[in-house]
Amino acid sequence: APHWAQERALREGARALGYSETISYTLVAPRVTAAFSLYEPVRVANPLSEEASVLRSSLLPSLLNAVEWNLNRGARSVRLFELGKAYREEGRDYQELPVLGLAVSGPAAPLSLHAPAREFGFFDLKGDLEQLLELFEYRRLYFDSDPGVDYYHPGRAARAALDGQTVARAKEVGVDIHA
């Protein structure tokens, strides 16, 4: 199946860019997914608890939790990726969407004799995303602005399109994680 080859290529590409893979739970609390999704969550018919009563609609909350966990344990630089499924309610049914999430915190380049240390920023993330998209066949790749939502830094969000179809969104999240 071609999707397995693409998933393997994405994993290898993310690792080559310095990301470590993380895996998180698919079942989450409604409050977790509500803050980071534009879609209504898919509810589980007979949940074991309220903390696992909906299917995640975004990988962002779990990636941010993983970044926070690492920072709280002394990590200065964190680069994580997760390749998994996100879910979206669609009438009386739901869609299962394959998603790749990237999360980064810390320096993009360490202090050297030739340059000061530089924090990883939006354009570094966009560059990593461009490199990962090179793994796919397409005629035209372009980025345009993405209006985003409240938790994104204004002006630091972009939509990537391959041959006119939206395939990715790069966003700098405006949340403070206190170590």
Which pLDDT score, from 0 to 100, does residue 120 have? 83
pLDDT at 138: 80
For residue 2, what are the contacts with CB-CB under 8 A and spacing of at least 6?
A: none
What is the reported pLDDT for 18? 93
C-alpha span between 11 and 87 (Å, rounded): 21
Q: What is the pLDDT of residue 1?
A: 44
pLDDT digits (tens), the chain, 179 positions = 457 888 899 999 999 999 999 999 999 998 887 777 777 789 989 988 999 899 998 888 899 899 999 999 998 889 999 998 989 888 888 889 888 888 898 887 766 677 777 788 878 888 898 899 888 888 888 787 765 555 555 566 777 888 888 777 777 665 444 43
Q: Are 83 and 113 in contact (CB under 8 A)?
A: no
Three-state DSSP at 71 gives helix
Asked whether 103 and 78 are in contact (CB, 8 A), the reply is yes
Query: How many angstroms separate the Cα of 5 from the Cα of each of 111, 121, 126, 129, 179?
Result: 37, 30, 23, 18, 38
What is d(CA 152, CA 179) in angstroms, rounded to the nearest whole number?
Answer: 21
Backbone angles phi, psi at 156, to 5 degrees: -120, 50
Cα separation, 89 vs 37, whole angstroms: 12
